[in-house]
């Protein structure tokens, strides 16, 4: 079930909110867990048992680590081994040509990282083990951030599981954030994705069309994923939770180091806290630091997908980030260096394999025998000019700054609900029309 889908918007979500706010507060985590399992089972009923088993296993591991502290190292090792085994069976079997091929469970990369962080934090003594299975299940399966994050550490949400406040201001703020995210997804990401699809189906591809598609995909990735993060954070506000931010205008970064501090921030923090620092971080010899950096970025690539192009994508960023630290003058090149690298990296990211990626690079740099431009290319450049302009505007803080400037004016009391209502209406019209509506991170 997609957030940007009619069943979720007009059936599932209203029913859940009705139950959530009508029943006593002591029932809310139960409602959240039950509705999250229904949400997950809607698309993959066979894998809801995998999720339930994961919840029970890590719940018991947390209790066992507190009950038998001398064995907690072994118990943590078992927890990590089970998570790696699940990743291997369901996500990476094809990478090593295993004899089986199973559909990838939606959201497995997110909920396994959350349960792993829980196990590690209990092992470290940073948080007490959860003793209520319903509360723990609500944390792991929570539908607002189940399929696309943000990756929420248990220590961040544990107090909110016990007690949280919900009021009109939180509800309104959450609804606004959700609808803005819905608009980014449906009106920008989906339309940019349609431009990429037009290129892939073009009768007359060209070098210029290849660059248009690469730039459109780079914008699509941002609006698709950040739009979903906005919807998740907004739903969290409505339900009384505070989720961490996941994006901070990454396309304004002046170095790749800065870019990865702004893009998918919860994933970056997870790898920093649970892989990079435990390996020694940068407080070690040069050789070990290089090893730590490459391990983290190889794993980052693998987390995104079971393909060697993802490994190459991750290692490429690891090498470039290392060069930035060794040669700080690279950062003086600023945005003009960062964005071409990001666009080209997403060409590799988008490909189905290294061979397809090499073919795509050949088209971009005129090595595939394509003309510079065609009549079809000019048509799509003209027809997508407004969309690209809105995309460029949308990756900057300007829309938010304008909103902040006007939000307290008396006119906004009337205009805000009208604008948000129109936004929902337009998004609904696009969805009813059956327009292009994928979600890129379902692949990961």
Give the integer Cα–Cα distance in Å for 405 and 133. Answer: 45
Tokens encoding 298: 């190889």
Query: CA-CA distance, 403 to 423, in Å (whole number)?
Result: 15
pLDDT at 234: 96
Q: Of the candidates 204, 259, 240, 283, which has an alpha carbon nearest to the alpha carbon of residue 395?
A: 259
Asked whether 101 and 94 are in contact (CB, 8 A), the reply is yes
SS3 438: coil
What's the rounded Cα separation, in Å, for the pair 348 and 107? Answer: 22
Q: Are 119 and 73 in contact (CB under 8 A)?
A: no
The CA distance from 37 to 43, in Å, is: 11
Query: What pLDDT is stored for residue 436 in this prediction?
Result: 56
Cα angle at 247 between 259 and 313, to 5 degrees? 45
Return all residues near 92 (Cβ < 8 A) that are at least 6 apart. Answer: 302, 306
pTM assigned to the model: 0.91
Count CA within 13 A, CB hemisphere, residue 99. 0
pLDDT of residue 339: 94
Extended strands (E) in 387-431: none
pLDDT per residue over 128-185, tens digit each? Answer: 999 999 999 999 999 998 888 799 999 999 999 988 888 888 899 999 999 999 999 9
Token pair of 186 as six digits: 């449906």
In angstroms, the CA 21 to CA 31 distance is 10
Q: What does the block give as tokens for 36?
A: 């999250």
pLDDT at residue number 441:
54
Options 174, 304, 346, 380, the catalytic residue: 304
Please answer whether residues 147 and 185 qualify as being in contact, where contact means their C-beta atoms are separated by less than 8 angstroms.
no
Could you confirm whether 264 is annotated as catalytic?
no
Output Rg (C-alpha) for the chain, integer angstroms: 23
Positions of the chain with pLDDT lower than 70, given as ranges:
434-444
Please report the pLDDT score of residue 439 as a whole number.
56
Report angle CA 315, 319, 323 to the nearest 5 degrees.
165
Residue 434's pLDDT is: 65
């Amino acid at each position: 079930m997609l957030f940007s889908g009619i069943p979720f918007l007009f059936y599932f979500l209203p029913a859940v909110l009705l139950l959530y706010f009508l029943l006593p507060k002591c029932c809310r985590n139960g409602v959240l867990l039950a509705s999250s399992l229904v949400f997950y089972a809607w698309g993959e009923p066979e894998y809801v048992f995998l999720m339930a088993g994961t919840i029970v296993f890590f719940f018991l591991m947390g209790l066992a680590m507190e009950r038998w502290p001398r064995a907690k190292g072994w118990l943590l090792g078992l927890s990590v081994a089970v998570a790696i085994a699940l990743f291997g069976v369901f996500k990476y079997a094809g990478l090593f040509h295993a004899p089986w091929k199973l559909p990838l469970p939606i959201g497995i990369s997110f909920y396994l990282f959350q349960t792993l962080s829980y196990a590690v934090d209990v092992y470290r003594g940073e948080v007490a083990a959860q003793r209520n299975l319903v509360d723990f299940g609500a944390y792991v399966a929570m539908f607002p951030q189940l399929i696309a994050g943000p990756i929420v550490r248990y220590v961040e949400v544990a107090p909110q599981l016990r007690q949280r406040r919900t009021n009109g201001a939180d509800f309104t703020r959450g609804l606004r954030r959700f609808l803005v995210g819905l608009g980014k997804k449906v009106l920008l990401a989906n339309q940019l994705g349609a431009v990429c699809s037009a290129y892939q189906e073009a009768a007359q591809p060209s070098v210029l069309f290849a660059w248009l598609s690469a730039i459109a995909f780079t914008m699509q990735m941002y609006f698709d994923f950040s739009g979903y993060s906005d919807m998740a954070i907004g739903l969290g506000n409505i339900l009384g939770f505070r989720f961490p931010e996941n994006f901070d205008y990454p396309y304004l970064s002046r170095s790749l180091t800065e870019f990865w501090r702004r893009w998918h921030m919860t994933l970056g923090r997870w790898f920093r806290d649970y892989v990079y620092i435990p390996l020694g971080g940068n407080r070690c010899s040069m050789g070990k630091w290089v090893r730590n950096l490459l391990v983290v970025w190889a794993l980052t690539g693998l987390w995104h997908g079971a393909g060697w192009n993802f490994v190459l994508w991750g290692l490429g960023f690891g090498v470039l980030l290392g060069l930035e630290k060794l040669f700080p003058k690279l950062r003086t090149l600023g945005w003009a260096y960062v964005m071409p690298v990001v666009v080209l990296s997403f060409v590799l990211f988008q490909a189905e394999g290294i061979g397809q990626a090499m073919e795509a690079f050949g088209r971009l740099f005129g090595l595939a025998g394509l003309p510079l431009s065609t009549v079809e290319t000019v048509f799509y450049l003209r027809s997508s000019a407004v969309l690209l302009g809105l995309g460029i505007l949308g990756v900057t803080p300007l829309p938010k700054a304008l909103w902040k400037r006007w939000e307290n004016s008396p006119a906004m009391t009337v205009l805000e609900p009208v604008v948000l209502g129109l936004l929902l209406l337009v998004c609904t019209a696009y969805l009813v029309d059956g327009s292009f509506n994928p979600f890129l991170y379902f692949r990961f």
